[in-house]
Chains A and B, each alone.
Chain A
Amino acid sequence: MNISLNARNITVIVLLAALILLPLYVAVTGDRFMLTLFTRIVIMALAASSLNLILGYGGMMSFGHAAYLGIGGYAVGMLAHEGIGTGFIQWPVALLVSALFALIVGALSLRTRGVYFIMLTLAFAQMAYYIASGLSRYGGDDGLTIYKRSQFAGLINLSNKIQFYYLCLAFLLGGIYLIWRLINSRFGMVIQGSRSNDARMQAIGFPTYRYRLTCFVIAGTMCGLAGALLANHTDFVSPAMLYWTRSGDLMFMVILGGMGSLFGPLIGTVALLVLEEALPSIIKLLGSPLFGDAAGRAAEYWQIVLGPLLLLVVIFARGGIDGLLQKVSQKVRRG
């Protein structure tokens, strides 16, 4: 494998190293909050990567992807509530139900394109949302607390934050690896070809519908896994996980990081969630000596830049951060 040493690759390598070494930092400083934050980042990066598979590579604009996070989470939560605490049952159920839901949604939606596809995937996600909020036994809109994380018969203790973090990281890296293998195979070629020109792919003789449906199901299942992890991380599931604006947030992470690039979703998730945590503090810290109280208030309203940022990225920076980093390396090489 030939990895050139450009800005983008260096960023990715540094990021991966930081993620792997994070628990060490936490053990030294005792800042457990970082571990919580980055576990969340890793799980969301897995979800974003699964969305990237169908959106970035496959051109399938699913606006209902958050539904799988919810389905995976609720599978774990509902089973735990009923007394089935073992992960060996919970997680396969989560994956199975996600796959099934993706199969149904994909089978019906993939026959359409453009905004109709968006609306259909959205409609199904909203239906899942309403199902979740309609189950009074599982808390409805109040949500459901999970008192014991998934048990794995002593093999791994999910309540141990460090073990759990590494498990999530392993899944993330595994997921990215899976996507890499898929994309670089014939399957991936059909998917990507279908994105740019479906008619041509069909003319060549590929049953593109079947390929895209398979891709859709794989992505849904991967996101369902992220959902099961998320439920264990937060010890809580609620219908809000499935609301359509959450799908928008996922898309934001993918777009910001760079659609159609392998590590783009990870970069985008890290950027967005770290920004959410750090930016208010940074603004306040840097701005206070200059602007005093106004800096504190500005820090509170920082989210106002998020919207225009997304707008600008969509209009001008199609490749996201990943694309920008690549452009930087090109400029450096030329200059």
Chain B
Amino acid sequence: MRKALLIAGAAVALAAGPAMAQQKSIKIGFISTFSGPTAAIGNDMRNSFELALDHLGRKIGGLPVEVIYEDDQQKPEVGKQKTEKLIESDKVDFISGYIWSNVLLASLKPVVDSKTFLIVANAGPHQLAGELCSPYVFSTSWQNDQTPQAMGHYMNQKGVKSVYLIGPNYAAGKDMLGGMVSTFKGKVVGQELTVWPTQLDFSAELSKARAAKPDAIFVFYPGAAGVQFLNQYVQAGLKGQIPLYTAFTIDELSLPRQGEAALGIPGAQEWVNDLPNEANKKFVADYQKKYNSSPTFYGAQSYDAVNLINSAVVAVKGDTSKKEDMRKEMEKANFKSVRGPFKYGNNHMPIQNFYLQDVVKNAEGKLVLKTVATIVESNQDRFHVECPMK
């Protein structure tokens, strides 16, 4: 039946003549994970996306908007299939989302081939910042290496001389550990990559880390794996013995489950919930009101994605066929980001600040994430030189 409607619609469109100047609505496809243990992240992103649309009055550039959410099940091949469906069957104007770097890399070709604009709201594989950069792809998050690089700087400041690395064996895991090493001035005494996403038992890696006697351990474990890792780190009796430094392992979603285990463990982030700019205050407050929980950086990035898209459509007054103009507008990052103002590099990756986040108990005794300091300002990823775009 849907196919019949599609035929009818297509016939009308054909009959109406080529190159329609005005579109009736804006269609956005959103790929994230909505099943399995990391579904909470997908829901956070969806909630934030929806909130941003609410704040815009459910209109992008004055046109009504339709969002189609698809589940990648955390699998590259599924994400790719859903991406193709969004492009070919639903014929979306924009695609956004993508938590996982491997899913994004698998889905990249169909998006770029079809010249559809992709606003990545989380994943930041180095290939995308480098040789695979495309005029049609923008990021409202970061390049994977940036956050751990900031952590490396911080660890230098703290006088850490040796580190043991543990992370998941997929595109992002390798980027994260590599990024940290690129700025860290001390010695790497060991590195373990675990099977992703199935391995949730880190006792072997923790034992090896303990045996190597490093000054510190650095980890990257997003989502539910972060919960497991931290619990096992504490259970192994390591918490008082070897300090832990993290990237993307402690966030507003995992913190309630990690509990006291996360107290005092630092992480780096381009966005923390208490950033003082106006857009962020409104975002966090309204999110808490509407959904009764706190947003994470995943959500903050999705919120920004909506506003980036909006800025582009506003600039072309709703005529989404003017792709060059939309691209030029988006390159200006001409919208109020919840992380504060930022610029785009030649590879459409943000040049932004990175903050130190710590886990503390607030006045009510509740565990919260707090911005403690700015680690680096206006940080640009190190792969932009490999991108052929000017």
A interface with B by C-beta (< 8 Å): 29-34, 36, 140-143, 145, 147, 234-236, 238, 240-241, 278, 281-282, 285
Closest to A30 in B: B10
Nearest CB on B from A69, distance (A): 12
Cβ of B316 under 8 Å from chain A: no
Q: Which residues of B contact A31 (CB under 8 A)?
A: 3, 6-7, 10
Q: Which residues of B contact A282 (CB under 8 A)?
A: 1
B77 touches A32 (CB 8 A): no
A145 touches B106 (CB 8 A): yes
Given contacts A29-B7, A31-B6, A236-B77, are A147 and B170 in contact (CB under 8 A)? no
Number of A-B contacts (CB under 8 A): 63
Nearest CB on B from A143, distance (A): 5
A30 touches B14 (CB 8 A): yes
Q: Could you jot down 7 A-B contacts, CB within 8 Å?
A: A33-B85, A141-B102, A141-B170, A141-B196, A145-B105, A238-B106, A278-B3
Cβ of B84 under 8 Å from chain A: yes
Please report whether the interface of chain A is mostly helix, strand, loop or mixed according to DSSP. Answer: helix
Closest to A286 in B: B1
C-alpha spacing A34/B10, complex, angstroms: 14
Interface size counted on chain B using CB atoms at 8 A:
27
Given contacts A30-B14, A140-B169, are A236 and B80 in contact (CB under 8 A)? yes
Nearest CB on A from B58, distance (A): 19
Please report whether the interface of chain B is mostly helix, strand, loop or mixed according to DSSP. Answer: helix
> Which residue from B77, B84, B89 sits with its C-beta under 8 Å from A240?
B77
A236 touches B102 (CB 8 A): no
Q: Which residues of B contact A238 (CB under 8 A)?
A: 76-77, 106
Q: Which residues of B contact A30 (CB under 8 A)?
A: 10, 14
Cβ of B75 under 8 Å from chain A: yes
Given contacts A238-B76, A240-B75, are A29 and B171 in contact (CB under 8 A)? no
> Which residue from A32, A34, A142, A285 sits with its C-beta under 8 Å from B106?
A142
C-alpha spacing A240/B76, complex, angstroms: 9
A281 touches B2 (CB 8 A): yes
Residues in B100-138 with C-beta less than 8 Å from chain A: 102, 105-106, 108-110
A235 touches B76 (CB 8 A): no
Residues in B153-185 with C-beta less than 8 Å from chain A: 169-171
Nearest CB on B from A283, distance (A): 11
Nearest CB on B from A87, distance (A): 19
C-alpha spacing A29/B2, complex, angstroms: 13
C-alpha spacing A145/B6, complex, angstroms: 31
B106 touches A143 (CB 8 A): yes
A235 touches B110 (CB 8 A): yes
Nearest CB on B from A129, distance (A): 13
Cβ of B201 under 8 Å from chain A: no
- The CB with the most chain B CB atoms within 10 A, among A30, A236, A282, is that of A236
C-alpha spacing A282/B1, complex, angstroms: 7
Cβ of B274 under 8 Å from chain A: no
Cβ of B88 under 8 Å from chain A: yes
Q: Which residues of A contact B106 (CB under 8 A)?
A: 142-143, 145, 236, 238
Task: Beyond A29-B10, A142-B170, list 5 extra A-B contacts (CB 8 Å).
Answer: A31-B3, A33-B88, A34-B3, A281-B2, A285-B1
Nearest CB on B from A323, distance (A): 29
